[in-house]
Amino acid sequence: MGMPSFQASNAIIYLTYGVFLVMGTGIAWKLRNQAKTDFLSSNGTQTVIWNKSTNTLAAFPLALNFIASGE
């Protein structure tokens, strides 16, 4: 199986880009009325580092992700 031509490679890249652009625009349009605070806290990454009320590390999963990425 050989390499695709230059035109075919560009077609694949730009079609994929277009699909992601349309999907992102559609998702943003669907969620346009969602409160900003709900969006930012929905995945739990916008919490404080040290939770004083429970004396726990609230961003521990985010820290593990950072360590695992090797950054």
**Do 57 and 49 meet the contact criterion of CB atoms below 8 Å apart?**
yes
CA–CA separation, 7 and 42 (whole Å): 41
* pLDDT tens by residue, 15-41: 999 999 999 999 888 878 877 666 555
* pLDDT tens by residue, 37-56: 665 555 555 444 555 666 66
Q: Which of 35, 37, 70, 41 is nearest to 58 (CA)?
A: 41
Q: What is the pTM of this model?
A: 0.48
Q: Which of 42, 52, 54, 49 is nearest to 66 (CA)?
A: 49
